[in-house]
Amino acid sequence: MNKEQILEKLKSVKYPGFNRDIVSFGMIKSVTINDDSIVLSINITSQNEEKKKQVIQDIKLILDEYFSDVKINLTNQTVPNDNPINELASINTLSNVKNIVAVASGKGGVGKSTIAANLACAVAKSGKKVGLLDLDIYGPSLPILFDINQQPKMSGDNKLIPIKKLGVSLMSFGFISGNDTPVIWRGPLVARMTEQFFKDVEWGSLDYLFLDLPPGTGDIQLTLTQKLKITGAIIVTTPQDIALADVRKASDMFQKVKTPVIGVIENMSGLVCEGVINPANARLKINGENIEIDSSGNFNINISIFKSGGGEKESERIGVPLLGKIPLSQEIMGASDIGVPLTSKDASNGITQLYIDIANKIQSIIEN
């Protein structure tokens, strides 16, 4: 076996307490192969002897299959902190950003990106300086939600300049890669790309930077909570139990890493049906329920498509406010498809007012 093959094998060895392997951590300093023997120099200076023994044991378990003589030399260089929450050093490149708000969900398909876009626009309309960063490297949404098909420009010091639209400074990997190009990357590369969005983007002075996180509780979420002082997180869920099961994991993750949860938003909270019929002797029944009709023949009903009450359950469980409920809506879908979030497209729309109310609650909680 050659050095490259050895390193590939050793990528299966995780540093105890971390999701990253010893190779991506840079712990393997040298590999010397001589016929049937191998000598590794590895970087472990942790004071935790059990972790040292575990790493050495895991390495030997792999290499003993290929070499009759395996020697491991320890060097005296810095290694990851034994606390996974402090795995990576903090970066201090956002000193001009007053508040960083993460918009998160436990699973995909709950409308998190649409909510993040509408909240950013709603806060911007209140007069605040707002940025929105799309951190879903594998499935970026901002290019579609804001109808952007251009690449960001570079500043004089070689930093990316966010694209400004509808009063919001926007950045997404989809602007750089092209939204039709699949991203086939491993976790460490995604984590490094995430860091660059903070180090190599000219965000300037902002009152709020909203982070549209990818679904789940993986590398990006962990990297952010380690590197950034996040003001708070907003949890997005839909009412049904299958969504709540995953959302609870996201809520619990933020609590474990000491990131405050601002509140919960229940998306797709029923389907609003409204219309007008001839009021003369009119009777309307939907799903067995008699619908109230006013004297002019107008009716309005919210049908619970996915059950109801999921948002309340989660907010009560973790002791935070239910910030609001957003129903399924043709208006939201139509605005998203043409690349203009509803809060910027139609100020008079009732759902726009729901977004504005939620945005006002978020600002009130943070600023008061």
Q: What is the DSSP letter of 151?
A: P
CATH of domain 97-367: 3.40.50.300
Class of domain 3-86: alpha beta
Q: What is the mean pLDDT of residues 211-221?
A: 79
Percent of the chain at pLDDT exceeding 90: 36
| Residue among 326, 310, 173, 186 nearest 251 (CA) | 310
Hey, how many other C-beta atoms are within 10 angstroms of the C-beta on 311? 27
CB-based burial label for 354 (10 Å; 0-12, 13-18, 19+): buried
* pLDDT number for residue 89: 42
The first and second tokens of residue 126, run together, are 């209140």
Instruction: Find the distance separating the first CA and the last CA of the chain, reported in whole Å.
Output: 62
140 pLDDT more than 70: yes
Mean of the per-residue pLDDT values of the chain: 82
* pLDDT number for residue 161: 93
Domain parsing of the chain, residue ranges? 3-86, 97-367
* pLDDT number for residue 46: 62
* Alpha carbon distance 114, 342 (integer Å): 9
Give the model confidence (pLDDT) of 171-205 as tens digits.
Answer: 998 887 765 666 566 656 666 777 778 888 899 99
Name the residue with tokens 């002075």: 205
Ranking 125-129, 241-245, 257-261, 304-308 by mean pLDDT, the lowest is 304-308
Give the model confidence (pLDDT) of 243-262 as tens digits.
Answer: 777 788 888 888 888 889 99
CA-based max dimension of the chain: 96
**Residue 71: strand pairing partners:** 39
Length, in residues, of the chain? 368
Strand, helix or coil for residue 214: coil
286 pLDDT more than 70: no
